Structure formats: structure tokens, C-alpha cells
Structure 1
Amino acid sequence: MKAIKARNLSFSYNGADVLKGINLEVEEGEFLAILGPNGAGKSTLLKCISGILNCRGVEVFGKPIGEYSRNELARIIAYVPQRTEPGFMTVFDTVLLGRRPYMGLRPSKKDLEAVKRALERMGIAGFALKITNKLSGGELQKVGIARALAQEPKILMMDEPTNNLDIRSQLEVMRLAREFSAEGGTVIMVMHDVNLALRFAGRFVFMKNGKIVADGGREILKPSIFREVYGVDVIIEEVRGIPLVVPV
């Protein structure tokens, strides 16, 4: 089933076209990486198909996105921004915010269990009572992802989630995303690290100047794509069956 469908999607900021006639369909259970240079429109596309920006032509599980209430949409889509802002709440309470679409006046046992699972899955249960403004950038990023997991969404959208993370944490996040997809969830991730994306994702959308330039699996990975999208020459080698892009 189509988790996300965008037809002739366009978007402008202050009269400047950022997205131009985007057509995109994402199946339930796919792990899609959106790649491209700065200013290509990747983050804007993610915000449009997640419902953060008000756009026409987007459907979620066959229903126009505008027909969902904010609460209904939050039970389906979890969005992780590029940066989770620190505050004066504890890590636990920040992750608990992900349960708002389900909570009444007080969190239920199910809500608290969902938070505990998310903290453990991200490896941050050890500082659940720490105030978020005392955390490093990488720790904050993990808190943001844990909050999204606590929503128990069907679609997980992340904007450059491996920023500020060390190599081990990057691998943990990417493995988590792959597991989420393998369990039937849909993952749509904006990334700059091409090689990390190629290692874990199953489908790739390359964007440039607000348009989709290429869309497909590993079969589309040709040096010509990187020359067109990034303006660099590369060689593509395989290391233990994993494609590796090396600029030359």
C-alpha cells in the first residue's frame, strides 16, 4: 500500500520556487533516502509530505493529508528535525511529549512503557532524568529520535538524523531505521552522507534545484548521477557487497 503519495507537488517561499512538480510514491515498509546538495529542496519536501508545511497533492495511506486532524496525523507520522532544541525538561519528559496524540490528562501505563522502550532502544535510559540543556548535540539528537519512536508511528521521517553523532551512534541510528522498515514501518530520511545512505537504505531519490533527478534502488548508482547532482566525478566500488562512492 502507498504510505505516501505526492502528485505534482510544488512549494514556494516568498515567491521563490523550492519544489517544482514533484511526483513521489513511497510504499509501506520502504526505507527511502533523499539525497542531494544543499538547497536542493530535500528538507522542504520532507516537511511537505509530513504535514508540517501546508501543501496540496499529498496523500497519506490514500487519504489527502489535509483531511487528517493534527492528532490523527501524529499517530501515523513522526518527524525528527535536523536539531532537537534543548530546554529545562528532563529527557524522560521530553520523550513523553511523543505520547501527546494518545494521552489524556495523565500518562497511562502504556504511555510510560512506550517512553521506556524508546529510551532503551536509543541507549539513553541512563540519563532519563537529566535536563536536556545539559546534553551534548549528539545526545539531544538521540532524544529527538526517541521522542519520535515513542509516538509509535507508521511512518518515520528524519531530517539528517546522523548529524552530530559519532560513528557508532550513526550506525545505531541507521540500523534502527532499517529495523523499523523491516518490521513494516516506512522510513523517509534526508541525508548528506551518501555512503551511509547507500549502506542501509533500499531506495534513493536524488534531488537538485527542487526537482527529482533520479529515483530507484542501487541500480541507479552511476557516476553520471553524482556528476549531474553534485558536480563531482566519482568512482563506485563495492566493499563486501556494499557500494562505496569515492570522489576523484
Structure 2
Amino acid sequence: MMTTTLSAQQVSFARDGNVILDNANLTLAQGELVGLIGPNGAGKSSLLRMMAGLQQPDSGQIYLSATNLSRASSSSESHSKKLLSNFSGRERAQLLAYLPQQETPAWPLQVEHLVGLGRAPWHKPMSGKSERDKQAIERALDITELQSLRQRIVTTLSGGELQRTLLARVFAGEPQIILADEPIAALDPYHQLHMMELLAEHAQQGGTVLAALHDLSLAARFCSRLVLLHHGKIVADGQPIEVLTTENLEQVYGISAYVDCRDDGVVIIPRKRVL
């Protein structure tokens, strides 16, 4: 896999006079599974969309550094650091995948066909699937345990089944960087663990993941690094044990919580609201 670094530098954004992001700086390196945490309205979704190139900040820039871009385009440089907006849409789609918080399929496709849309950046419109496309789709169905549902119509799926299908579409595209907005929100505990394991494996194999998460214990269990957003500002960035302090939980989330630091992560048990 190629080496990539995605960074947001001094990114600010406001909507209707409300500050959504305030001078945010965040760099994602290869091999990281980073949890983006914070209360509702902290700016997590906006930051993810900007780092995916889907929304422009009012100020600041998003940069992508990559080596061996020949996989994305035969005319690309072997090493490049430039604005994300300067990459072509196809290059960007080959390098990174974005999973939104909520997505409703527009057409009643079969599961395998929706997953196959993840291969769109890798072939020309109306062209048939290559052998590599087929292999990537089969692998995505396998690792997300969707083989038994492959011929189901996506509009008949439960919320959790649809979420797994959308994650499979992401994996089918074989992106270097995955940006996921609450990827486990609709899943039961078994599949929450399963999807977090897949995201962690992607990072361990040299990819990069930034995932917005509300389950703090799972974030601490799987993420090598947590980034805490509050009122559009990054107020903490580091290892889970450094970020999930009782002080941060009280000041940012407004809760008193029991924080249990263990060898396999940090367990957060909310006790009461701090009024």
C-alpha cells in the first residue's frame, strides 16, 4: 500500500453565524486508527466531510501527502504533497473513502451490487468488472459476513444490515484512508466489535482510519489515538488514557464518570450528569 498523510491545517467553518470548527489542526498518519469523539454538535461530521474533500472550510486547508500515486493515475508524481482539492475526483476516490452518518439507498439494488459500487473509481463507466474488482467485492462480502445476504434488496435490510453493507462498499474500494462517521451506531454489540476489528485490521495493514464514535469504551479499546472536539475546537489529542480523563469527561460531556484503566483499554461508566 502507498504511504499517505492527510492533514487539516487551521480549519475553520461557520454556518448561519454559528462556529462549527475553530482553527482545527489534525494530521492522520499511516497505520493509525483514530477515534474522533465529542458531544453532539461538536463539529465531528463537518471535520470528516472537509477531510474527505466534500465540503470546503471557510479558512484553512486540507492537504494530502502520498507516495506512489501511479496506482491512482499513470501521470501522477511518485511523491506528492498538495491540497486535497487539487486531486482529481477519481484520484481522491481511489485514495480515500467516506462513510456518512446516515445514508439511504436511492435504488432497490441487491446487496452485492451496492457493495460493487465501491469499485467505481477503478474502472471506466459502463465497463465490465475486472477480475480484481470481483475479488475485492467477494473479499468485502466475506469479511463483513454478508455472503448470505448478497442477493437481498438493500431497501429490505434492517438498519444494522444496511450499515454493514455500506461498510462493505467502503472495503470493496480498497482505499488507503477511511473516514467514517459513526460507523457502528446502528449495529448490535457483536457487529460493533466485528466492524471495529475490521477497521483496526485496515490500520494494522498500513491503512489509515478516522472514525467518529460515541461509544467511548469501544473507542478506547480499539483506537490508538483519540481526538476530542468541543465547540469546534480540538481540546485533547493523544492516547485514550490521556484523553479520557474525568476532567475532560466533566468539562466536555457534562458527566461524572468512573474511568477504569485496564491493560486492554479504558472503560467509561457514566455516573451522573453534571448540572
TM-score relative to the length of structure 2? 0.87
Which of 117, 129, 137 is matched with 1:97 structurally?
Answer: 117
Shift of 1:106: 1.6
Letter in 2 for 1:229: V
The 3 A distance-change label for structure 1 pair 12 and 174 is same
The correspondence of residues 105-124 of structure 1 with structure 2, limited to 5 A, is 105-124=127-146
Task: Report the secondary structure of 1:101's partner residue.
Answer: helix
- Rounded Cα–Cα distance in structure 2 between residues aligned with 1:158 and 1:193: 14
Counterparts of 1:86-165 in structure 2, within 5 Å, are 86=105, 87-104=107-124, 105-165=127-187
Asked if residue 60 in structure 1 is aligned to residue 64 in structure 2, the reply is yes
Match of 2:91 among 72, 89, 100: 72
Task: Report the 3-state secondary structure (helix = DSSP H, G, I; strand = E; otherwise coil) of the residue aligned with 1:233.
Answer: strand
- 1:8-59 CA-to-partner distances (Å, cap 9, x unmatched) read 1011223432111001111111110000000000011000001111235101
Residue in 1 that maps onto 2:70: none
Does the residue aligned with 2:185 lie in a helix, a strand or coil? Answer: coil
Percent identical among aligned pairs is 36
**1:204 and 2:204 equivalent?**
no
Number of aligned residues: 248
- The residue matched to 1:8 in structure 2 has which SS? strand
The 1:7/1:168 distance shift into structure 2, 3 A limit, reads same
The equivalent position to 1:84 in structure 2, one of 74, 84, 103, is 103
- Structure 1 residue aligned with 2:30, among 13, 28, 31? 28
Confirm or deny: 8 A CA contact 2:249 2:255 kept in the other structure.
Answer: yes
Q: Which amino acid aligns with 2:61?
A: G
- 1:218 positional shift: 2.8
Q: Could you tell which deviates more after superposition, 106-115 or 187-196?
A: 106-115
Q: Counterparts of 1:185 and 1:122 in 2: how far apart (Å)?
A: 18
Which stretch of the first structure deviates more once superposed, 226-235 or 208-217?
226-235
Deviation at 1:2, TM superposition (A): 5.8
Describe the SS at the equivalent of 1:29.
coil
Report the 3-state secondary structure (helix = DSSP H, G, I; strand = E; otherwise coil) of the residue aligned with 1:92.
helix
Query: What is the CA–CA distance in structure 2 between the aligned matches of 1:2 and 1:145, rounded to whole Å?
Result: 21
2:53 matched residue in structure 1: 51
What's 2:68 paired with? none
Alignment root-mean-square deviation, CA: 1.4
Q: Distance in 2 between matches of 1:239 and 1:15?
A: 43
Instruction: Return closer, same or farther for 1:229/1:2 CA change in 2, 3 Å cut-off.
Output: farther
| Unaligned 5+ runs, structure 2 | 66-80
The equivalences for 1:169-248 within 5 A come to: 169-220=191-242, 221-239=244-262, 241-248=264-271
8 Å contact from structure 1 (residues 236, 243) kept in 2? yes
Q: Is the 8 A contact 1:118 1:147 kept in 2?
A: yes
Is the 8 Å Cα contact of residues 2 and 25 (structure 1) preserved in structure 2? no
The alignment partner of 2:261 has SS state of: strand
C-alpha deviation, 1:84, in angstroms: 3.1
Residues 155-164 or 13-22, more deviating: 13-22
Shift, 1:126, TM fit: 1.2
Residue by residue over 1:108-160, the C-alpha shift from the partner in whole angstroms, topping out at 9 and shown as x without a partner, is 12111111110111000111111101110000000100001111000011110
Q: Gaps spanning 5+ residues in structure 1: where?
A: none
Query: Quick check: 39-48 or 212-221, which moved more?
Result: 212-221
CA distance in 2, matches of 1:171, 1:70: 32
1-structure distance, mates of 2:220, 2:176: 23
Equivalent AA in structure 2 for residue 157 of structure 1: L
